[in-house]
Amino acid sequence: MSLLKNTDYALIKEMCSIHAPSGNEVAMKDFILDYLAKNSKKWKHKPKLIHGKGFQDNLILIFGKPRTAVFAHTDSIGFTVRYGKQLVKIGGPVTKQGFELIGTDSKGKQTVTLQVKEKNGYKELSYKGKRDFERGTELVFKQNWVEDKNFIQSCYMDNRLGVFNALKLAETLKDGAIVFSTYEEHGGGSVSYIQRYLYDKYRICQALISDISWISDGVFPGKGPVISMRDSLIPRRSFVNKIIDVAKKHKLAYQLEVEGSGGSDAKELQMGESPWDWCFLGAAEQNVHTPTEKVHKKDIEGMLEIYKVLMKEL
């Protein structure tokens, strides 16, 4: 029996369409605040909401007596308009000729196409449109939602699925913290002060990273969410082993991932001054950082299932 309803996939679709590139996550913050106002009264346990001055556009939910924090970043990749029709990347989007981009300035909304020109071994990025955007305008991939029996496909599954997972987890969570973070796609910055706050205030020092990984030669769609044993950083093995043991005990679907590149909010946890343990745990997607990121529905459901169990047992 499916854990998710059509309304859940409609929620994911809506979130994937929200304009929130790194540095301008306000629309996602406002969306989550509105979602909390409309839905949190139906949750099993009422959280404390922490946000505002001192937290920029980040949101923190505290449930009961938290032992573990879940981090889900709200920002996306994209582009910034430089001068004329020049573009500068936000994060690491794939740059392919003809990708449709969308942005809004004081003159209104406009859809344009990405232009890629090779020069002296470098890519020069620009856009083709009816008019120039005002400099500093952010452009993001234009959404083209595709859904069938097994898959959903859209821009910005990374990381609106991680946010979705956290919001669904909150419906039944008794003890724990959920962090909706910013800036993850473009160098980070917010988790460094949030980790210190959570450690000093609540003595939390273990985390699950609710984010989206990638399909590879060893990770396959429909075979369960990824428990990452390493990416560009290496989490403490005893903590990862504990997570694997819980998954085995409850006969939960999962795949083990071993990569040498990539990163997440965990970077700032590992480099922070507090002794955090962490593990990246999430569904894997095809077509990473493109307008056509594609995820198997079973992996989304499996991600939610394993988070519910781990937040009880860790």
The confidence score (pLDDT) of residue 216 equals 96
Could you list the beta-strand ranges (E) of the chain.
Answer: 48-50, 59-63, 69-73, 78-81, 87-90, 100-105, 108-119, 122-128, 138-141, 146-147, 151-154, 176-181, 206-209, 213-214, 226-230, 255-258, 277-282, 284-286, 293-296
pLDDT of amino acid 3: 78
The amino acid sitting at 218 is: G
Strand partners, 88: 80
- pLDDT of 121 > 90? The answer is no
CB 201 within 8 A of CB 274: no
- Domains of the chain (ranges; CATH) run 6-77+145-313 (3.40.630.10), 78-141 (2.40.30.40)
> What does the pLDDT look like over 156-197, one tens digit per residue?
999 999 999 999 999 999 999 999 999 999 999 999 999 999
Report, as an integer, the average pLDDT of 9-32.
Answer: 98
pLDDT at 1: 59
Amino acid at 179: V
The predicted-structure confidence for 202-227, as pLDDT tens digits, reads as follows 999 999 999 999 999 999 999 999 99
